């Protein structure tokens, strides 16, 4: 009963480095999302996908990239990490039916130094 | 533009007292409404949702929420608070004209004191 799985849980990056946050869901959900949550703040949508091969920008896409080659996986790539990208990142998924809830992963804590 | 507002950053209540966490929304069309809870260092967990029908919906851990269409509100309530209810609560809306996105409020920190 895995749900939404994110890796890694914690990571420290140096300024200018790049990395990929992995996200996988086993619920056959077509919609997937990446959010960031800064300390004491709410959620901001980075990117989302409505199905394999289809992605779109959210509120704060700059400095990030995504791909969706399969229904299950939705990795988030950080290019040229900056201190402003220090945050907690949440992956989430849902089915396309409008009444369905959204399910979240446990989060990935990223610090850029 | 779609938006969700949680006007209180923090709510303090004594254990055993009733609690209310407020949420109002502004969306095009009829919304689907949700409440989520976040415990420290964890992801968001689903509490309850309103889709249609009875304005009072019941969810997990004794929580309930009342949908008020005229006031565009969806306040979260519990008759008797527990210390273990202390957490961060998020209201969210999913609009029927744009099923792709969920819009989240900024969150309300609930502190329940013994």
- For residue B23, give the H/E element and its range: none
Provide, as residue numbers in chain A, all residues whose Cβ is less than 8 Å from the Cβ of B106: 41-42
pLDDT digit string (tens) for A53-94? Answer: 999 999 899 999 999 999 999 999 999 999 999 999 999 999
Higher pLDDT, A40 or B57: B57
**What is the structure's pLDDT at A1?**
65
Question: Which pLDDT score, from 0 to 100, does residue A12 have?
Answer: 97
What's the whole-number mean pLDDT along residues B36-56? 91
Decide if B62 contacts B48 (C-beta within 8 A).
no
Q: Any CB–CB contact under 8 A between A60 and chain B?
A: no
Residue B97 above 70 pLDDT? no
Of A48, A90, A104, the CB nearest to B100: A48
**DSSP code at position B81:** -
Taking the Cβ of residue A34 and every Cβ of chain B, the question of whether any pair is shorter than 8 Å is answered with no
Residue A97's pLDDT band (boundaries 50, 70, 90)? confident
Alpha-carbon gap: B23 to the closest alpha carbon of chain A (Å): 14
Give the HSE-up count for residue B57: Cα atoms under 13 Å, Cβ half-sphere.
20
> Per the CB < 8 Å rule, is A101 touching B34?
yes
pLDDT digits (tens, 9 = 90+) for A23-36: 999 999 999 999 99
Overall average pLDDT of the B72-78 stretch: 97
Q: Which chain A residues are Cβ-neighbours of B45 within 8 angstroms?
A: 104
CA distance B17 to chain A (A): 26
3-state secondary structure string, chain A? CCCEEEECCEEEECCCCCEEEEEEECCCCCEEEEEEECCCCCEEEEEEEEECCEEEECCCCCCEEECCCCCCECCEEECCCCHHHCEEEEEEEECCCCCCCCEECCCEEEEEC
């Amino acid at each position: 009963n895995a749900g939404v799985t994110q890796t890694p849980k914690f990571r420290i990056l140096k300024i200018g480095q790049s990395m990929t946050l992995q996200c996988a869901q086993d619920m056959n959900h077509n919609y997937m999302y990446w959010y960031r949550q800064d300390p004491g703040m709410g959620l901001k949508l980075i990117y989302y996908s409505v199905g394999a091969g289809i992605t779109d920008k959210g509120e704060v896409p700059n400095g990030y990239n995504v791909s969706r080659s399969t229904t299950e996986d939705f990795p988030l790539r950080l290019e040229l990490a900056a201190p402003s990208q220090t945050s907690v990142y949440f992956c989430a998924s849902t089915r396309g039916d409008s009444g369905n809830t959204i399910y979240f992963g446990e989060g990935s804590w990223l610090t850029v130094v | 533009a779609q938006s969700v507002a949680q006007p209180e950053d923090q709510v303090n209540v004594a254990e055993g007292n009733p609690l209310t966490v407020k949420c109002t929304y502004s969306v095009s069309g009829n919304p689907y409404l949700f409440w989520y809870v976040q415990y420290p260092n964890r992801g968001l967990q689903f509490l309850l949702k309103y889709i249609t029908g009875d304005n009072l919906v019941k969810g997990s851990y004794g929580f309930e929420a009342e949908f008020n269409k005229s006031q565009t509100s969806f306040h979260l309530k519990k008759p008797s608070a527990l210390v273990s209810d202390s957490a961060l609560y998020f209201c969210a809306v999913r609009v029927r004209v744009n099923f792709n996105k969920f819009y989240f409020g900024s969150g309300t920190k609930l502190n329940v004191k013994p």
